Amino acid sequence: MPPLPSDLAFVPFVSVQNMMRLVHALGLEEMLTGLAGYIEDDFRRWADFDKTPRIASHSAEGVIELMPTSDGRTYGFKYVNGHPKNTKFGRQTVTAFGLLADVETGYPTLLTEMTVLTAIRTAAMSALAAKHLAPKGAKTMAMIGNGTQAEFQALAFRALLGIEDVRLYDIDHGATAKVARNLAESGLRLAACASPEEAIEGAQVLTTCTADKQFATILTDNMVGSGVHINAVGGDCPGKTELHRDILLRSSILSNTRPRRGSRARSSS
Amino acid sequence: MPPLPSDLAFVPFVSVQNMMRLVHALGLEEMLTGLAGYIEDDFRRWADFDKTPRIASHSAEGVIELMPTSDGRTYGFKYVNGHPKNTKFGRQTVTAFGLLADVETGYPTLLTEMTVLTAIRTAAMSALAAKHLAPKGAKTMAMIGNGTQAEFQALAFRALLGIEDVRLYDIDHGATAKVARNLAESGLRLAACASPEEAIEGAQVLTTCTADKQFATILTDNMVGSGVHINAVGGDCPGKTELHRDILLRSSILSNTRPRRGSRARSSS
C-alpha cells in the first residue's frame, strides 16, 4: 500500500447536495441578501482585485469559461458552462464549480459546487445593481425569459428592492407556467403575459434573462420608455444579445465585465 | 430535506490517494511509458487543439496557473501552482488538479488530482522530446536541481531513452542525497557531484530542473559542448531562468508553450 497523503493535501468540498442543504437551512432570501452584502463590500474594494478577463472556449452548442481572480491574499476561479440546448435532454443550461486557494502557498483551500451559487450570485448582483440604479419605489418588474434563473431573479428583486409584481413572458409558455407555479408561495403577485409588450406595461424594471447565441433582440427601442431600469442578464458572450442597439445608445450602461482588450462600455444619455 | 441532485450531477473523482494506488498498481515505469505514448499521439494531431495560453496569476511567493485546452470533443484544464518556498514549511512546491468536460454539454466528466500526474507527465514529456532530439545511444545524463521532480526525470529517461548513468548536483547536498537514496533500487548508476561542471562531465543529456524565480544561470555557455541535448525543465515563467543567453543563441530550441503574443521561439545554429 502506498503511504497516505499528507493532511495538507485535503481540501474541503461542498457538494451540490450540501449546497442545497445550506440554502434550505438558511433560506434563499437570507442567502440572496447576505451574498449581495458581500458583493457590495467587494465592489467597495474593487481596486484590490486582479481583473483578468474570463477565458472562454466557444463551441457550436455553447461555451465553457474559466473566471480567475485574486485580491493578493485569496485566489479564486469559477468553471462555468452555458449550453441552452441541454434542457432538451434533461441537463441544465449551466453547471459550475469553483475553487479558493491561498496566494502565499498556492494550496487550494475550498472546492465547491457553484451551479446553485451562480444562480444565487447572479440574482443578488442584479438586485444589488437595481438597488443603486433603478427608479426609487419601483414595485413592478417585467421578467422576459422564464428559465430557472428567472425564479432567482424574482426572489432577489423582492428581497433587495421590494418588488411586488412580476410580469412574466417567455416564447415557451410552459416555462412561464413553471416559474409561476414555483413562485406561487413567494408573496409576489405574478402575471403571465401573452407578449413582451404586455409584460413591460407599467414596469419600472425590465429584466431580460435569455441564454441562446441567436443574436436575438428581446427589447426593441420603441418598447422601452425613459427612466426605466433594464437588467439584461443573458448577453455575456458573442451572439448572446438581448437589446436593440438603439436602446444602448440612449442608456447609461454599467457592465461588471469588460472585453479582453479595449475599454469598458460606459455611456450616458 | 431538499431533493437529491440528479444522477447527471455526479462527477468521477480521482483523489491523491487513488492516484498513488494507481501508480503503485501499474508501476511508475509503465505509467511513464504509457503517458509518453498518449502525448506523442496528441502531438501528431497538434492542429486539433485549441492553443489558449495558460493564465498565470503571479505573486511574490509564486504563481498559480490555469491551463485550458480543447480538441472540440473534450475540454480540459489544469490548475497548478509553483511556490518554491513551500518546502520549508512541509508543503510541496507544486500542487495540481484537473478537469475533463464534454464540449457538447459543458458537463464535467472527470475531476482528478494532478500533483502526481504533473510530475509524471513532465518527466514523460522530457524523455519523449529527448527520444527524438538527443544524440543516439546517449547513456549518461547530468541532473542539476535535485528536487522531487529529478526522480521522475531520471526514471523517465531510463525507461524511454535507456539512460544508465545519472550525475547529480544541487546547491543543497541534502536534496542530492535524498534523490540518490530514493533511486538506489532503480537500476540507475548514480554519482553525487560537487559542482555543476563535474556533473556534466561525459553527459550527452543535461537536465536542469529548478524552480525559483531568481533569474538564475544554471548553465553558462562554456560549460556546454556541442551536440548535447539540454532538457531545461524549470524555466516556464518570468524570472525562472536556467540557461545563459549565449547557449540559446547557438541552440536549436523547441518549446511546447509559446508566449501569449509574439512568435514561438525557434532558432537553428
Residue numbers in B near A50 (CB within 8 A): 57
Nearest to B83 by CA among B102, B110, B60: B60
Question: Dihedral of CA A131/A136/A137/A140: which sign?
Answer: negative
Q: Enumerate long-range contacts of B221-224, CB under 8 Å, 24 or more apart.
A: B221/B246, B221/B247, B221/B250, B223/B196, B223/B197, B224/B200
Query: Any bridge partners for residue A167, and if so which?
Result: A142, A191
Contact A96, A79 (CB under 8 A): yes
H/E element holding B150? helix B148-161
For chain B, positions 80-99, list CB contacts with chain A under 8 A: 81-83, 86, 89-91, 95, 97, 99
Q: Which residues does residue A78 pair with via DSSP β-bridges, in sequence order?
A: A67, A98
pTM: predicted TM-score of the whole model, two decimal places: 0.85
B18 touches chain A (CB under 8 A): no
The answer, for A103 touching chain B at a CB cutoff of 8 Å, is: yes
How distant is the Cα of B184 from the closest Cα of chain A, in angstroms? 18
By the 8 A CB rule, do B233 and B209 touch? yes
DSSP summary character for residue B218:
S
Of B3, B90, B107, the CB nearest to A91: B107
Give the CATH superfamily of A9-116: ornithine cyclodeaminase, domain 1 (3.30.1780.10)
- Cα separation, A229 vs A207, in Å, equals 8
CA distance A129 to chain B (A): 29
Q: Which of 149-168 (A) contact B at CB < 8 A?
A: none
Q: How many CA atoms lie within 13 A of B203 on its CB side?
A: 29
CA distance A132 to chain B (A): 32
Q: For the segment B103-133, what is each residue's pLDDT rounded down to a tens digit?
A: 999 999 999 999 999 999 999 999 999 999 9
- Assign domain B7-116 to its CATH architecture: 2-Layer Sandwich (3.30)
Cell 432567482, residue?
Answer: A152
Q: pLDDT tens-digit profile of A194-248?
A: 999 999 999 999 999 987 767 778 888 888 888 899 998 887 767 778 888 888 8
A108-132 confidence digits (pLDDT tens): 999 999 999 999 999 999 999 999 9
| Candidates A71, A165, A212, A236; catalytic one | A236
A161 touches A229 (CB < 8 A): no
Query: Inter-chain contact B20–A6, Cβ cutoff 8 Å?
Result: no
At how many degrees (to 10) do helices B16-26 and B28-44 cross?
100
Domains of chain A by residue range: 9-116, 132-249
CA nearest to B20 within chain A: A2
Q: What is the ipTM of this complex?
A: 0.83
Task: Please tell me the distance from the alpha carbon of residue B145 to that of residue B122, in angstroms, as a whole number.
Answer: 15
Mean pLDDT rounded to a whole number for chain B:
89
The fold adopted by the segment(s) A132-249 is Rossmann fold (3.40.50)
Contact across the interface for A107 and B64, Cβ inside 8 Å: no
Indicate if A50 belongs to the active site.
no
Enumerate the active-site residues of B.
Answer: 236
Residue reference for cell 485535503: A10
How far is Cα B151 from Cα B233, in angstroms, rounded to an integer?
Answer: 13
CATH 3.40.50.720, domain B122-249, yes or no: yes
Written as one letter, the residue type at A243 is L
